[in-house]
């Protein structure tokens, strides 16, 4: 069974839905990579990170995501010129979705902004339990026993297959974060300042070292 789950930013100005939310239509994962952590700290949205520095995500295809209100508040940040397109809200700095490009059938959104109560179903009942804990080499604290130090092969294969099928089925359309005709993102691209990025990464390594010294 699939479910249409609403989402909204912290202040409520940006709203939307995740259609076909189910284990068969996406991946429920936690990513502890340094980029996701840097992104959260840059936006001062550390609350989205779990106790290990991970971001819990639902990965699916762009045609399963829909923006209803507040498109004008959406902004785009890249952590490097060739990095992922990370869309967030300028109104309250809420991470909304990560994408690769206009013609890649991949989009992921933090489960923290999804309103499972609205569909009277738990997170696990709707999108399944977390299937993969990724990039745990950047995590800290007492990590899950099944955490992968890098990106697990099985998840890599699943995403590759989704991207390949997406090329054939055009499941990257309609794309809520890009113009389907021009391929341009709905917001101007901003690349994070290198010095600011370095400062945040230094801070994150200090956090990890604190946990390591306490263990």
The CATH number of whichever domain residue 140 belongs to comes to 2.170.150.70
pLDDT of residue 212: 77
pLDDT of residue 164: 97
Whether 215 shows a pLDDT value over 70: the answer reads: no
How many structural domains comprise the chain? 1
Count of all residues that appear for the chain in the document = 215
Classify strands 15-21 and 27-31 as parallel, antiparallel or unpaired.
Answer: unpaired
CB 173, CB 59: distance < 8 Å? no
Tokens at 194, concatenated: 């290198």
Tell me: the pLDDT tens digits for 93-134? 999 999 999 999 999 999 999 999 999 999 999 999 999 999
Q: Which domain holds residue 183?
A: 3-214
Whole-prediction pTM: 0.95
Tell me: the pLDDT tens digits for 69-102? 999 999 999 999 999 999 999 999 999 999 999 9
In sequence order, what are the beta bridge partners of 97? 87
Q: Return left, alpha or beta for 183; rule: phi > 0 is left, psi -120 to 50 is alpha, else beta.
A: left
Question: Which residue in 66, 92, 75 sits closest to 13, CA to CA?
Answer: 92
Per-residue confidence band for 211, with pLDDT thresholds at 50, 70 and 90? confident
Count the alpha carbons within 13 Å of 141 in the hemisphere toward its beta carbon.
Answer: 10
Q: How far apart are CA 10 and CA 49, in angstroms?
A: 15
């Amino acid at each position: 069974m699939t479910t249409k789950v609403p989402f909204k930013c912290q202040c409520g100005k940006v709203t939307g839905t995740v259609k076909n939310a189910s284990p068969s239509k996406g991946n429920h994962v936690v990513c502890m990579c340094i980029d996701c952590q840097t992104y959260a700290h840059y936006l001062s949205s550390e609350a989205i990170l779990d106790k290990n520095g991970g971001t819990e995500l639902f990965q699916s295809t762009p045609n399963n995501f829909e923006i209803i209100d507040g498109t004008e508040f959406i902004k785009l940040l890249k952590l490097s010129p060739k990095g992922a397109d990370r869309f967030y809200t300028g109104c309250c700095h809420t991470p909304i979705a990560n994408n690769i490009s206009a013609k890649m059938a991949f989009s992921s959104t933090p489960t923290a902004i999804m309103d499972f109560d609205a569909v009277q179903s738990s997170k696990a009942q709707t999108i399944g339990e977390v299937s993969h804990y990724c990039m745990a080499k950047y995590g800290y604290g007492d990590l899950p026993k099944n955490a992968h130090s890098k990106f697990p092969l099985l998840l890599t294969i699943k995403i590759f297959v989704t991207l390949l099928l997406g090329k054939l089925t055009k499941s990257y359309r309609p794309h809520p974060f890009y113009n389907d005709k021009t391929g341009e993102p709905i917001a101007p691209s901003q690349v994070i300042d290198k010095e600011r990025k370095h400062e945040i990464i230094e801070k994150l390594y200090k956090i990890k070292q604190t946990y390591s010294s306490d263990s």
